[in-house]
Amino acid sequence: MSFQIVNTVQVQDMINGEDVTIIDMRDPDSFAQGHINSAQAMASIDLDHFAKSHPKDQALVLYCYHGISSQSAANWFAQKGFTRVFSMEGGFEAWPQN
């Protein structure tokens, strides 16, 4: 299993067109200052519980500050059996109107 790197336009299309979970990997203060509207903060998610209870075929998009750390997390989810895992290129810095 592996993950894909997607750009902000592709992420917006996913948000608009399908059931997708967005995970923000940044620290709680950064999340509080601004995030993608439907995003969940990684710090508030129990990863093991999430991995066991979340549908493995539902799209899962991860982002961080600049798009580097989210690739490691995306790989972790892919290794746990998630089939539609994406890391957002450029991270939150690339997100329009952040």
Q: What is the pLDDT of residues 11-54, one digit of tens each?
A: 999 999 989 999 999 999 999 999 999 999 987 678 888 899 99
pLDDT surpassing 90 at residue 1? no
In 3-state terms, what secondary structure has residue 38? coil
pLDDT for the residue numbered 14: 96
Name 23's bridge partners: 40, 62
Token couple for 20:
């997708």
CB 61 within 8 A of CB 76: no
Tell me which residues are annotated as active site.
Answer: 64
Vertex 96 angle, CA 46 and 51, to 5°: 15
